[in-house]
A and B are shown apart, each in its own frame.
Chain A
Amino acid sequence: MTSDKRYTKWYVWVLYFMIPFMMLLLYKYVKSGNTDSYTAVVADSQKSFSGNQKIPETIDYIFDVKPILSDRCYLCHGPDEGTREANLRLDTKEGAYAAIGEHLDKFAIVPGDTVASQLVFRINNTDIEKRMPPETSNLSLSDYEKKVLTKWVQQGAIWKDHWAFVPPIKKEIPKISNTNVISNEIDNFIVKSLEQHGLSPSEKASKEKLIRRAYFDLTGLPPSLEDIDSFLADTSDKAYEKIVDKLLESTTYGEHMASSWLDIARYSDTHGYQDDLERVMWPWRDWVISAFNRNIPYDTFVRWQLAGDLLPNATLEQVLATGFNRNHKITQEGGVIDEEYRVEYVLDRANTVSKSMLGLTMECAQCHDHKYDPISQKEYYSFYGFFNKVNEKGRIEYDEIPEPNIKISPNEIEGVLSFINMPDTIKEVKLMVMKDDAPERKTFILNRGAYDAHGDEVTVGTPSAVLEFDDGFEKNRLGLANWLFDEKNTLTSRVAVNRLWQQIFGMGIVASSSDFGNQGALPTHPELLDWLAITFREEGWDMKKMIKRMVMSYTYQQTTKTSNAALEIDPDNKWLGRSSRHKLTAEMIRDNALKISGLLVDKLGGPSVKPYQPAGLWAETTSGQGLTKYFMDSGENLYRRSLYTFWKRTVPPPAMMTFDAATRDYCTVQRQKTSTPLQALVMLNDPQLIEAANVLAIKVLNDENLSDEDRVKRIFRMITSRNPDVTEIDNLLKFLLETEQGYTENKTDTTELSLLKSSATAKKVYAYSVLTSLVFNLDEAIVKG
């Protein structure tokens, strides 16, 4: 290291400590002071921020104006007729330009005329009584927002329809001169927008990083040293593509893909309410894994799950797939009113389908017309009607398997359901499916969403703003599925590719992957989104092909390293001029440790399993009914992939919850990404992770030809997929040595607890186990690559 470099480092460190320290003082001051000073600091920072915003030269309705109108005005001047004030609605063109006032002589918006426009008059009014939005709404407009709205009116108040309700168009692929950064069409779009933002693509990630990333993104598991070595040795152009193809063909791909589908489907092994009894739905989960592995096209995949039972000559597999809509919670609580809960289940289905397939928050129209999107309460209950024909109970008895259900025995499995992994000990299972066996049941609008407050009767239908549900569609779930995949449906394909993009790139092109409505995020790369959406459809909804396109792109293969300049322009990596350092998911954290240590049991599907869990968690909250105690499995069931871990909704697996797994109480399209002290505790002390460290340590120790340095290198490489540098090796060797030296004889001998036997001394085993645990705790160990 040159002295120059050391100097820079010193300088950086001073800043690094001083700035936080000063902020700390300020924070302490603010905290100890009265509320006013606290308020002042926050208010000040806001002011300076909005003061810096530049008003765009040309105001665009969709991107500048509508987000403001939707967020601050629609509540009283939006789609909900019930709460509309002054007979003014700003969510439609007709409404916004219409005459208002008692004598119909006023206009909210007069294009080009800021004086005559009531909107401009009201939002800029200094009279608190006249100003919009009113004080009581707790909503307000910043100066910037007022200027944007005013300037828009001044420039002619040009109206446009909401982007997500306009059909996608496949635009010409942008031309990029630097072909070195183009692997496929995705890159043309990405590089073009990078150029527009004064950014450029980063170089490719190292091969070690790349293979690690691809393994986690496609299979949820890390590569082995052999995988890495053979990739490094393969210098052909196709080396990376070969890996991608291999991973897409691996059954671990289906398991990994299933994990996020189980979140969407709110899959669980228990019913979820109160005593939270056990249910059997895992054969449906096995189907999902198999469907991904067989690469069943997305339209078929969804059609079977929504309406497999209604297909002509439906197969048992198609009926099984409809279990999707029975994964909602079910109560057995004594004394509940049956209809109240039956309605709850129907609502849950409607909400899940709209959120996951349409990217719409339709549930907001459950009690009243939607406040932001063009979905009336009537349309909501028309949609609800599709799912309201099931002859089911609101409250089930203990030990009851809810109707309608199907029976699966080894007979069926040998025949048409070979993907179900049923142990010999189980003779047959019954699981819930959909069936329209209450065809006579009528559907009503439920006033205020209350189960017993019937309003007008409705027939089945969909939100017309998306696409009319015309006579061409059957008036049942099959019709709904066909409507979803109609070429004119503007949402389905966009929502689907956006979710795949989110899975591969960490963030969707539309960041709010479950909300494509007025309050949702705007697409960062709209033309790319449309191109992908149409291509997806044209290619027959081929998921593997689409995912392969994404991971083969240059964009995906970039390094995560970045410059300060790039970080300043794009702190959140919205423009993808680099790769983001994505953390492993809850499933991956544990699976990673199991795989590296060799503990992982490679087995597909089957009943859910009960691995390690801190004692007493189920027992301390139980009522004495149902699953009162957690009986930990033994043998290979302890080491299955985490997607097979038994999911009890009222007490979900705690380590997974700590790493932001979804609760499975309802449909989740996007998990949280947090960093908490409780995560550190899991990483440091979870017995499963300690055991994995111990097993790995002993394995490496048992190779007697290795030196300590070799061993440290191997452990590090197995966990991070790369070789440590000299500093890292020194750091770890020093730790190893000190731990070994500090080991005293009176320590508990943990070698006896080990799964593997070692000829090494207890001292060595201990030191190596702690060292391995240390490496598992490095930030890099829980980052994909």
Chain B
Amino acid sequence: MEEIAKHFLNNNRRHFLKKLSLGIGGLAAASMLDPFSALVEADDSPLAGMNLPHFAPKAKRVIYLFQSGGPSQLELFDYKPLLNKMRGQDLPDSVRKGQRLTGMTSGQATFPLVGSNFKFNQYGESRAWVSELMPYTAKIVDELCFVKSMHTEAINHDPAITFFQTGSQQAGRPSIGSWMSYGLGSLNDNLPTFTVLLSRGTGRPLSQPLYSRLWGNGFLSSLHQGVQFRSGKDPVLYLKDPEGMSRKERRKMLDHISELNAKQEEEFGDPEINSRIAQYEMAYRMQTSVPTTMNIDDEPEHIIQMYGANAAIPGTYAANCLLARRLVEQDVRFVQLYHMGWDQHENLPTQIEKQAKDIDQATAALITDLKQRGLLEDTLVVWGGEFGRTNYSQGTLTETNYGRDHHPKCFTMFMAGGGVKPGFTYGETDEFGYNIVKDPMHVHDLQATMMHLMGVDHTKFTHKHQGRRFRLTDVSGHVVHDILS
């Protein structure tokens, strides 16, 4: 193995030049500007040569309104009158075609079809079907691009939601927001690139949990992890100074830390120390910028009313929608919301009514508000859950009550802004609302399309980890050009 040693003899110089050519000075500058920026990693970065963004982006920012639990497309957007006509009749085998079922209904003797208890109507110039559960959304359908033909591979929550967020059903890959932070970097100097907001629905308040790995950085640097913004005194973990400390004192302390650290840097010449000084400065800025962004006192009453009365109650979906707008106003790249409570196996009609009420007005307000501020143009809004729900009832079907199990074969999502066709519907399901009959869109297709809108070719944006090039869309996914404006 002597050749191994020889080989390395030749390689040092080259390595050093590489570092220089990317500019140690440049690194320092970039990290002083914003430690969340991808450029911090520029030296040795596998990103070098990837030429991101690959083309001019349509969307600079994303707000992803994740509806956790699996909203029923049949109660909200996918109108299937046949199911009302055939109410109580068994799902024909010719429709099911051997589709695997979850353990919750696979033991059921019959699969009684059930239509929506809620009325549907067509709205706007686009004549989109929306149920009476979503009156505010109905008013803005001409801004929306519906995808009726989403489908996924997973049939249970944990793998399904992990699949949507990371492109893989098993934990370990980076979240889509982390990929975007890594590939595209930050647009601002004082807030994290990838932020996360959680809210609990009133439909079924205790149903499905969330997992912090959903916004985890996987094998990417933890610079790209989603940073949770929480309601309450400490909106980002450990943001708040200790009791009794003034900002002036904190500033003074940081100045002393910087002076003493700089002295160490002089002695040891470790560039890590400069990076650390920059991190502390960013932390200091966040201590001001985060609470300022979270504080909605400067919002006029009519804006709060627009999002709904809940917008004034921290931690609600409505409040988070308003916060999402404030974050993208500050040029935060990726805002990920999660709203829990859509997992309605039983008592669906009463639960979904409450759940829809949580989100309808605020979602519509968010899109309207972004538009009136000129932000919708380059902000992509995505709404949807991890799978749909079955066209047959789980449990006993009565006159007024029914439930629905998980259904991965078709469900509805919608998008708005940032380069998608407004007033458009893509894809179609059969009259049973069970199978897709036109233009299917796989989870990886959605991810590929979202990346495309952000100026990224999903097949070219990879990260080499343990010898393999990983990408968000794994080995599949196609950009759905038909929905692009």
Report yes or no: A621 in contact with B211, Cβ–Cβ below 8 A: yes
Which residue of B has the minimal Cβ distance to A581?
A: B270
Cβ–Cβ contact A655 & B238, under 8 A: yes
**CB distance B221 to A35 under 8 Å?**
no
Q: In this assembly, does A666 line the interface, its C-beta being within 8 Å of a C-beta of chain B?
A: yes
Q: From the candidates A38, A272, A333, A727, name the one contacting B156 in the complex (CB within 8 A).
A: A333
B209 touches A276 (CB 8 A): yes
B97 CB within 8 Å of chain A: no
Q: How far is the CA of A360 from the CA of B207 in the complex (A)?
A: 40
Asked whether any CB of chain B lies closer than 8 Å to the CB of A27, the reply is yes
> Chain B nearest CB: distance from A450 CB in Å?
10
Tell me whether B244 and A750 are in contact (CB under 8 A).
yes
Which chain B residue shows the least CB distance to A734? B256
- Given the known interface contacts A274-B158, A681-B238, the answer about A779 and B273 at a Cβ–Cβ threshold of 8 Å is yes
Across-interface contacts of B396 in A (CB, < 8 A) = none
Within 8 A of A (CB), among B281-300: 282-283, 286-287
CB distance B16 to A569 under 8 Å?
A: yes
With A527-B5, A561-B267, A562-B269 known, 19 other A-B pairs at CB within 8 A are A38-B53, A45-B21, A49-B18, A49-B21, A331-B158, A334-B104, A337-B155, A522-B7, A526-B5, A614-B237, A650-B212, A676-B35, A677-B283, A681-B283, A682-B238, A727-B263, A742-B248, A748-B243, A778-B261
Bound-state CA distance A648–B468 (Å) is 29
Among B14, B32, B171, B467, the residue within 8 A (CB) of A663 is B171
8 Å CB contact of B172 from A196, A652, A665: A665
Say yes or no: is B49 at the interface (Cβ < 8 Å to chain A).
Answer: yes
**Is B347 engaged at the interface, CB distance under 8 Å to the other chain?**
no
What are 7 pairs between A and B in contact, CB < 8 Å?
Answer: A45-B22, A53-B14, A333-B157, A512-B467, A624-B206, A657-B222, A680-B279
Alpha-carbon distance between A46 and B260 when the two chains are bound, in angstroms: 37
Residues of A within 8 A of B260 (CB): 728, 731, 778
Q: Which residues of B214-256 have CB atoms within 8 Å of chain A's CB atoms? A: 216, 221-223, 227, 230, 232, 234, 236-246, 248-250, 252-253, 256
Nearest chain A CB to B216 CB, angstrom units: 7
Which bracket fits the contact residues of B?
Answer: 35 or more
Find chain B residues with CB under 8 A from A19 CB.
25, 28-29
Residues from chain A with Cβ under 8 Å of B170 in the complex:
344
| Complexed CA–CA distance, A519 and B467 (Å) | 5
Closest Cβ of chain B to A269, distance in Å, is: 15
With A35-B455, A512-B466, A658-B222: A22-B1 Cβ-Cβ less than 8 Å = no
The closest CB in chain B to the CB of A742 belongs to B249
User: Which residues in A have their C-beta under 8 angstroms from that of B198?
Assistant: 620-621
Chain B residues near A560 (CB, 8 Å)? 268, 270
State whether the Cβ of A39 lies closer than 8 Å to any Cβ in chain B. Answer: yes
**Interface hits, B6-46 → A, CB 8 Å:** 6-10, 12-19, 21-23, 25-26, 28-30, 32-33, 35-36, 39
> Is the Cβ of A650 less than 8 Å from the Cβ of B209?
yes
Which of A58-66, A289-297, A314-322, A696-704 lines the interface with chain B? A58-66
- Contact residues in A for B8 (Cβ distance below 8 Å): 63, 193, 197, 522, 524, 574
Q: B244 to A747, Cβ gap below 8 A? A: yes
B275, A193: Cβ atoms closer than 8 Å: no
Q: Does B480 have its Cβ within 8 Å of any Cβ on chain A? A: no
Residues of chain A in range 562-610 having any CB-CB distance to chain B below 8 Å: 562, 564, 567-572, 574, 581, 583
Confirm or deny: A10 has a beta carbon within 8 angstroms of a beta carbon on chain B: no
A340 → chain B closest CB, angstroms: 9
Query: A711 → chain B, closest Cβ, in Å?
Result: 16
The interface residues of chain B lying within 8 Å CB-to-CB of A138 are 459-460, 462
Distance A47 CA – B459 CA, assembled complex (angstroms): 23
The answer to whether B212 touches A623 (Cβ under 8 A) is: no
Give the nearest-CB partner of B161 in chain A.
Answer: A274
Contact of A672 among B19, B212, B221 (CB under 8 A): B221
Question: Are A336 and B103 touching (Cβ within 8 A)?
Answer: yes
Residues from chain A with Cβ under 8 Å of B51 in the complex: 39, 42-43
A679 at the interface (CB under 8 A from B): yes
Interface assignment of B280: CB less than 8 Å from any CB of chain A: yes
Cβ-based interface call for B482 (8 A): no
Which of A104-112, A238-246, A684-692 binds B? A684-692
CB <8 Å contact, A42 and B49: yes
Chain A residues 735-752 with CB under 8 Å of chain B are 735, 738-739, 742, 747-748, 750
Q: B399 an interface residue at 8 Å Cβ cutoff?
A: no
A567 to B268, CA, bound (A): 11
Instruction: Return chain B residues, CB-CB under 8 Å to A655.
Output: 237-238
Residue B272 is within 8 A (CB to CB) of chain A in the complex: yes
- Restricting to A645-680, which residues have a CB under 8 Å from any CB of B? 649-652, 654-655, 657-658, 660, 663, 665-666, 672, 674-680
* Most central of B232, B238, B249, B252 by chain A CB within 10 Å: B238
Chain A neighbourhood of B9, CB < 8 A: 196-197
CB atoms of B211 and A276 under 8 A apart: yes
How far is A420 from B80 in the complex, measured between Cα atoms in Å? Answer: 62
A20 contacts the other chain (Cβ, under 8 Å)?
yes
Q: Are A519 and B244 in contact (CB under 8 A)?
A: no
List the A side residues contacting B95 at CB < 8 Å: none
Bound-state CA distance A685–B254 (Å) is 13
| CB of B257 closer than 8 Å to a CB of A | yes
Task: State whether A665 and B171 are in contact (beta carbons under 8 Å apart), knowing that A27-B26, A54-B10, A524-B8 are contacts in the complex.
Answer: yes
Closest residue to A193 on the B side, CB-wise?
B5
Cβ–Cβ contact A616 & B230, under 8 A: yes
0/1 per residue, A759-785, Cβ < 8 Å to B?
A: 000000010001001100111100000
B354: interface (CB < 8 Å): no
Residue in contact with A681 in the complex, picked from B155, B210, B232, B236, CB distance below 8 Å: B236
Q: A23 an interface residue at 8 Å Cβ cutoff?
A: yes
Selected contact of A623 from candidates B36, B208, B223, B246, CB within 8 Å: B208
Task: Find chain B residues with CB under 8 A from A651 CB.
Answer: 211-212
Q: Chain A residues near B309 (CB, 8 Å)?
A: none
A622 touches B56 (CB 8 A): no
In the assembled complex, the Cα of A515 lies from the Cα of B219 at a distance in Å of 15
Tell me whether B213 is interfacial, beta carbon within 8 Å.
yes
Most B CB contacts (10 A, CB to CB) among A276, A361, A623, A780 go to: A623
| B253→A660 contact, CB < 8 A | no
Knowing A43-B51, A372-B467, A616-B230, say if A63 contacts B3 (CB, 8 Å).
yes
Contact with B223, one of A344, A674, A682 (Cβ below 8 angstroms): A674
Quick check: is B326 within 8 A (CB to CB) of the other chain?
Answer: no
